[in-house]
Amino acid sequence: MTFPSIVSRASVRLLVFATLMTAACATMQPTTERNLPPVLAQDEIFRPYIKLGVVEVSCERAGHPNDIMAEANDWAQDALGAEAAKLGADAIIQPEIRVEKGKYFLFPVTDIKAKATAIRFR
């Protein structure tokens, strides 16, 4: 074997490895949209309903609370809807979303906690 062929093989292997690693980082979007129960205000409910229960979700996200507030609210509403859907709820009411500063070691970590009441219309 000559030096150029060894370098060429190493370059090809490196290129293949880099391509595979880059492809592994690709994200996929769901093709079907999930039908999550909507978040309704008390004045938007015109039909009688029964309370199925209180759903609670929580997570930790890296970042300062002020920086991720909108993302935290979106996540919380989606997560509450997903949990309510497991109960067969038609909607969720009275959502309470708390975004608080958590641990701070090398970078800030934010605690996100949310709860809401899952309801089903009669």
Note the pLDDT of residue 2: 57
**Summary mean pLDDT of the chain:** 83
pLDDT of residue 67: 87
32 has a pLDDT exceeding 80: no
If you write DSSP's letter for every residue of 16-73 in order, what string do you get?
HHHHHHHHHT-----SS---PPPEE-GGG--S-EEEEEEEEEEEEEES-TTTSHHHHH
The DSSP letter of residue 89 is -
Span 3-121: which CATH code? 3.30.110.70
Residue 30 buriedness (CB in 10 A; 0-12 / 13-18 / 19+): exposed
pLDDT tens digits, residue range 49-83? 999 999 999 998 888 888 888 899 999 999 999 99
Lowest mean pLDDT of 28-37, 49-58, 79-88, name the range: 28-37
The pLDDT assigned to 117 comes to 95
Tabulate helix, strand, coil % of the chain (nearest 5): 35, 35, 30
Average pLDDT on 87-112 reads 89
Q: Sign of torsion, CA 90 54 114 96? A: positive
Q: Of residues 15 and 32, which shows the higher confidence score?
A: 15
pLDDT greater than 60 at residue 3: no
